[in-house]
Amino acid sequence: MIKNGISAFVHERRCNDTHAAEPYSGLADDYHTLLGDLAEHTWRVGVLPEAAQIRPRRSAVVVDLGAGTGIGGRLLATHMPSLTRIGVDRSPAMLALATNAYDRTLLAPIEALPLGEESADLMLSGFDTLNYLPIPVLGQCLREVWRCLRPGGWLIADLSSPHLLRRHWRDHSEVQELRDGTVHWHHRYEPAMDRCVSVVERRDAANTTCWTETHIQYAVDADQLQELAAAAGMHVERVRDLERDHYSPSAFTHVWTLQKKAR
Ligand SMILES: C[S@@+](CC[C@H](N)C(=O)[O-])C[C@H]1O[C@@H](n2cnc3c(N)ncnc32)[C@H](O)[C@@H]1O
């Protein structure tokens, strides 16, 4: 009886305290249920096959940029178990769920990596993390990747396409059902900033708002990414659609493979 009373109180208080949260603070709890399958698919058909193709040495150090709840780290542990895995993310709520997926987790922005020079062989970034960086910050992140990679090291990342952000999500709403409520997404493209602003709202079973978060993702054109990469000292080795071997601008997701050049 007492336990039920406490749990009802906690639940009610949470959803009466409507607040705008940092991205991936409220969402962290429901991330696996809502987005886990899609994120895992992106890793399985995008990032992991590219990583297998470059054949990292057995003792390689791999850094997961925007590790989230550790979906990539767990897949790496299964498919490339000899690698040392480091997960980096700026969201404490997401990273708290990722600790068993990596040898080490670092709470940090990926544009200022707390890693030594030439300390990693491979950097991976799954499920559109790099779209969260404004273009100058993406350039800074690529320079950090260059600094922390050993010569000849690789970055493999998937990005949501400009087509998805500018057209498909121009003004797009959807609702996801959960056991104890719903999650409402509204995506709106802002031409002036060339970015998509997504408002995520969690409601409980009584339709009371528990929290809202705003996620901002920037459109990155292919030639823009190539220029940023070149300026950072990274060479674009290949880019393809997530689901295909070739590149088409209308795909929703592209997978990029970059290599650190000697300066
Ligand atoms: C779409 S989630 C992807 C999570 C994970 N890679 C996956 O595949 O499930 C994006 C993640 O990037 C993180 N993120 C966004 N911008 C970041 C930044 N500047 N520095 C560090 N992490 C960032 C968010 O906190 C979030 O966990």
For residue 224, what pLDDT band results from cuts at 50, 70 and 90?
Answer: very high
C-alpha span between 10 and 180 (Å, rounded): 14
C-alpha span between 171 and 93 (Å, rounded): 29
The proportion of the chain whose per-residue pLDDT surpasses 90, expressed as a percent, equals: 91
CB 180 within 8 A of CB 8: no
What's the per-residue H, E or C state across the chain? Answer: CHHHHHHHHHHHHHHHCCEEECCCCCHHHHHHHHHHHHHHHHHHHHHHHHHHHCCCCCCCEEEEECCCCCHHHHHHHHHCCCCEEEEEECCHHHHCCCHHHCCEEEECCCCCCCCCCCCEEEEEECCCHHHHCCHHHHHHHHHHHHHHEEEEEEEEEEEECHHHHHHHCCEEEEEEEECCEEEEEEEEEECCCCEEEEEEEEEECCCCEEEEEEEEEECCCHHHHHHHHHHHCEEEEEEEECCCCCCCCCCCEEEEEEEECCC
The proportion of the chain whose per-residue pLDDT surpasses 70, expressed as a percent, equals: 92
In the predicted model, is pLDDT for residue 27 greater than 90?
yes
CB 46 within 8 A of CB 251: no
Å from CA of 249 to ligand 1 middle: 24
Over residues 191-202, the mean pLDDT reads 97
- Tens digits of per-residue pLDDT, 142-196? 999 999 999 999 999 999 999 999 999 999 999 999 999 999 999 999 999 999 9
Probe residue for ligand 1, chosen from 40, 64, 89 as the CB with the greatest number of ligand atoms within 8 Å: 89
- Architecture in CATH for domain 35-160+220-260: 3-Layer(aba) Sandwich (3.40)
* Residue nearest atom 10 in ligand 1 by C-alpha distance: 129
Over residues 210-224, the mean pLDDT reads 96
Å from CA of 8 to ligand 1 middle: 32
- Tens digits of per-residue pLDDT, 115-131? 999 999 999 999 999 99
Domain boundaries, the chain: 2-31+163-218, 35-160+220-260
In the predicted model, is pLDDT for residue 80 greater than 60?
yes
Provide residues with CB under 6 Å of ligand 1: 24, 39, 66-68, 71-72, 89-91, 94, 109-111, 126-129, 132-133
Q: Which atom of ligand 1 sits closest to the CA of residue 68? A: 27
Å from CA of 144 to ligand 1 middle: 16
Å from CA of 7 to ligand 1 middle: 31
133-to-4, 69, 213 alpha-carbon distances in Å: 43, 19, 17
At residue 142, the pLDDT reads: 98
Over residues 237-244, the mean pLDDT reads 97
In the predicted model, is pLDDT for residue 2 greater than 80?
no
Over residues 57-70, the mean pLDDT reads 97
C-alpha span between 250 and 256 (Å, rounded): 16
* Residue nearest atom 18 in ligand 1 by C-alpha distance: 109
At residue 135, the pLDDT reads: 98
Å from CA of 45 to ligand 1 middle: 19
